[in-house]
Amino acid sequence: MRLALIGYGEVGRILAEDLRAQGHEVTAFDLKLRTSARVGLRGHSVVHGVSLAESHADAVRGAALTISAVTASQTVAAAAASAPGLPAGSFFLDFNSASPGAKIVAAQHVARHGARYIEGAVMTAVPPHRLKVPLLLGGPHAEDGLATLTQLGFAARVASAELGVASATKMCRSVLVKGLEAMVIESFVAARRFGVETALIASLRETFPGVDWDEQASYFFQRVIKHGRRRAEEMREAAVTVREAGLDPFSASGAAERQAWVADLADTGLFARNRRRRRAHAPDWRDEADRILDRLGGAKHE
């Protein structure tokens, strides 16, 4: 099958690897191909036999299925830019973490050119599951596209024939999950500053006995350090979703700011030492909290 990928970041490259391993023809486009980051993307494409296109429309021409896996803020723009090149009747799977409203607008762009838009909502982190990541589908063409996606190896199921339902499920989950990441970082860094982290974790264990809070916090810190920019964009879309429901998104907006704040620190190289470590588990959250406190000038209590 001839397939197209719009977005050749971490998720796009994982999908490309798994689909190429099955022998499918894959063409990809990413805006980063127009920047200095293109060297790494081209290297990956050579190793895995992925063709790189010069534009969105060039990538999707002749593709039976196009998968859009871009950052949340680019969801509508990617659909609009791809739409003129989409073959009539082909499927456009929107893999992006965007609000129901954004998905509906993206679907309108695709439909104007005769292609079939499928809303996709990825329900957990992609890397551990790769192509088999749990995927909710939505929209009037979801049922028609399910057989094709199942054949390709996706672990997909149809949530609704109504656009927006699958994404609402994903976004409401994100309010909680990625909001929890932001709250844990905020809570644990503050606890480290006041020297009460042992008491805090003991209390949490009493309330939530099934959670290893040391391990969970270390995992949360690393996910945000590595993917905070992308997570912040997703949380802004989650905030839009909450607002579309008629609520002021106090929690979602705050979580987006905390995720972006950690991403800003990561961009300064504050956590760079982690990249040189080769450990079977994530670095201890205390090390990361201490780096943050040192940068803020607030030494922890001993």
CA atoms 27, 29, 35, 37: torsion sign: negative
How far apart are alpha carbons 123 and 299 in whole angstroms? 38
How far apart are alpha carbons 48 and 219 in whole angstroms? 30
pLDDT digits (tens, 9 = 90+) for 173-209: 999 999 999 999 999 999 999 999 999 999 999 999 9
- If you average pLDDT over residues 219-239, what whole number do you get? 95
- Domain 2-162 falls in which CATH fold? Rossmann fold (3.40.50)
Q: What is the pLDDT of residue 272?
A: 78
Dihedrals φ, ψ of 134, to 5°? -60, 130
How far apart are alpha carbons 270 and 260 in whole angstroms? 14
- Domain 167-296 falls in which CATH fold? N-(1-d-carboxylethyl)-l-norvaline Dehydrogenase; domain 2 (1.10.1040)
Please, which pLDDT band fits residue 298 given cuts at 50, 70 and 90? low
pTM for the full predicted model = 0.88
pLDDT digits (tens, 9 = 90+) for 33-50: 999 888 999 999 999 999
pLDDT digits (tens, 9 = 90+) for 129-162: 999 999 999 999 999 999 999 999 999 999 999 9
Average pLDDT, the chain: 94
Q: Which part of the chain has CATH 1.10.1040.10?
A: 167-296
More confident residue, 72 or 272: 72
- If you average pLDDT over residues 243-265, what whole number do you get? 97
Which stretch of 15-24, 30-39, 104-113, 147-156 has the lowest confidence by average pLDDT? 30-39
Q: What is the pLDDT of residue 279?
A: 47
Q: Which part of the chain has CATH 3.40.50.720?
A: 2-162
